[in-house]
Structure 1
């Protein structure tokens, strides 16, 4: 067998998993989200940096503030999902590096002292973490509906007024509802995407 993961787990995380567009009203608990985070925090990043921040949008007031910045087609599903999360990059993630990498405290300023370098590295690694987060949602038996169709500047001002976090994506989370899935689009075959040199 080429993969260590059993076929049922492969299906749960990848083959049968889909982006959900509708959800049931079954709540997503804080315990579920913590279990997801506690699993996916181990996904690899450069220097073990952890720039991803997760803002859970639970109150009706916060939901209305977010929906106002979503693209028209994303508003209904964001209004009705049991939980919506804003995944953002913390531009000051480097401040936590000494505790994450006590053997290399110099990285905080030597590598990430310039904000442009820090923002670029943080955005890339937070995007990796966002991918792990989506797989973690699937591992919890839930469906994720990740979206980039929103006014990022508006969301940043609305939720991260100090400018130290920047929204990467918005994800609706829950159990899939009726007609949750659109037909799956094709993916590139192995021979079209992989070369040996």
Structure 2
């Protein structure tokens, strides 16, 4: 079966894409980040919620503070990437729902009135948005180095507030020397698809 995307786009976004471990020093601009976000902001989410928040860590002082909270294996990449972002879930995303969901403005109070429900929903839907954001970074010709190895409580305290949950620290830029490791194995379709 053929796909709507041509082979080159399939390779760029999926087959040849890898997590980057080194980057060149070419800067990543705010305009590039906005362009990526504008491309992927229509990712599917429940009730059109948009809980993803992106905190760009640009200054040397902020970068040093972030590096302290990264797992040892992620510190060098975090320190050296031209741009690092903390991708977090806004647990108060429901405040935007009346504007984002005009045909069902009561969703804010009927579905998401309770904090535990919001947090669970924010976590799932932010994860969807993060995945799309990474694909958007690739579509922009940049490389992404997503990391979950960090002290989430410390990163929250350092850069966010109690209404935000950090999910991923993302290094991004142009791939550097030996940026990519060999592709790891994945499960085949017949191992994951069941028909009932």
Normalised to the residue count of structure 1, the TM-score between the two structures is 0.98
Which secondary structure state, in structure 1, belongs to the residue aligned with residue 187 of structure 2? coil
Specify the alignment match of 1:55 in structure 2.
Answer: 55
Instruction: Say yes or no: does 1:139 pair with 2:159.
Output: no
The CA deviation string for residues 27-65 of structure 1, in whole angstroms up to 9 with x for no partner, is 001111000000110111011100000000001011011
Distance 2:189 2:106 in 1: 41
Distance 2:183 2:126 in 1: 26
Which secondary structure state, in structure 1, belongs to the residue aligned with residue 190 of structure 2? helix
Distance 2:190 2:123 in 1: 30
Alignment of 1:156-171 (within 5 A): 156-160=156-160, 162-171=161-170
Which secondary structure state, in structure 2, belongs to the residue aligned with residue 145 of structure 1? strand
Specify the alignment match of 1:189 in structure 2.
Answer: 188
Distance 1:117 1:2 in 2: 40
Distance 2:10 2:166 in 1: 30
Alignment of 1:7-156 (within 5 A): 7-156=7-156
Which secondary structure state, in structure 1, belongs to the residue aligned with residue 109 of structure 2? helix
Flag as ranges the 4+ runs of structure 1 deviating above 4 A. none
> Shift of residue 2 of structure 1?
2.7
Distance 1:35 1:176 in 2: 19
Q: Give unpaired runs (5+ residues) of structure 1.
A: none
Aligned residues: 196
Specify the alignment match of 1:172 in structure 2.
Answer: 171
Q: Give unpaired runs (5+ residues) of structure 2.
A: none
